[in-house]
Amino acid sequence: MSTRKPIILAVQSPLHVGTGSRIAGSRLSFAPCVRDEGRAPIVPSSTLSGALARRIASSRRKGGVTASPISIDCSSAEVALFPFRTARGVFVWGTTASRLGRLLLSVRAQASVPETLPVTRNEVLVSETFSSAEGGELFLEEYAFRAVKHAELSATLLAVANAVFGEQDSFFRERLLNGTALLADESFSQLLEISTEVAEAFPVDAATKRSHGRVDTIECLPAETVLTAEVSESAELEPLRPYAVQLGARQRVGHGICRMTMFGEVTQ
């Protein structure tokens, strides 16, 4: 048996973990983010374990500990909550029953996702206090959904809010309770295809200090995306609380900053 700790990553600045390939033209290039088999963006396990290993190495150096190999085993980080834009210009978190279930497992919440959630591809389930629907409709990006209030979902979101945010982070606690929509898997996947953020960069020649005249664009997970993963237990991770990790590309300009919260152990 192995003991692993569930973790939650809250993205705080645009996060790009690329595939290593780039779609290039004469004036424009585009670097897509890594996606899983279902076309959902992920943070690969190698990226996450590498960032944690660098953090531990830094902690060792500050403590005067002799360097030694660091090995961290963790899963890929998957999207649990994604911020979609509404017709009002505000954002709501979107999720699915399976992703919400994994989030509940991560935070060890004393609740479960209702077994029967009558959500179709044209509907979203929302809490009884949800406030972003207009006339029973919710517009996410360029799609319209019928918003259905669901009492059991309200109780589930309350359990997650209490476990993840408590009373300390009132803004995100209220966002989860009053601004989360549960979608069908197919609808969620379609929205993820068009809702990632695109960041631009203008390469500069090192010798002339002038722009090449080309625009490099990269696909990013936007701030306020929430991901879940699991990491192998390590005594060296404990002193790092509160966890702050930086992942992916363009770290020098502040991209890829994430807040990581670790929860109780799961024995497998």
**107 Cβ contact list (under 8 Å, min separation 6):** 6, 8, 160, 163, 164, 263
Average pLDDT of the chain, as a whole number: 80
> Residue 41 in contact with residue 16, Cβ under 8 Å?
no
Dig out the tokens for 119 from the structure.
């959500």
SS3 237: helix
pTM of the prediction? Answer: 0.84
Q: Which residues pair with 143 in a beta bridge?
A: 140
**Ranges assigned E (strand) in 32-161:** 42-43, 77-85, 91-95, 123-126, 137-140, 143-149
Q: Give the model's pLDDT for residue 181.
A: 92
Which letter does DSSP use for residue 71 in this model? Answer: -
> φ and ψ at 32, to 5 degrees?
-75, 160
Q: Residue holding tokens 């809702």?
A: 195
Q: Give the model's pLDDT for residue 221.
A: 92
pLDDT 10s digits, 229-252 = 888 766 556 544 557 888 888 888
Taking the mean position of all CA atoms in its chain, how far away is CA 169? 17
pLDDT 10s digits, 63-122 = 666 666 677 788 899 999 999 998 888 899 999 988 888 888 777 665 666 665 667 889
pLDDT 10s digits, 189-230 = 999 988 998 888 776 777 777 766 677 888 899 999 999 888
Identity at 83, one-letter amino acid code: P
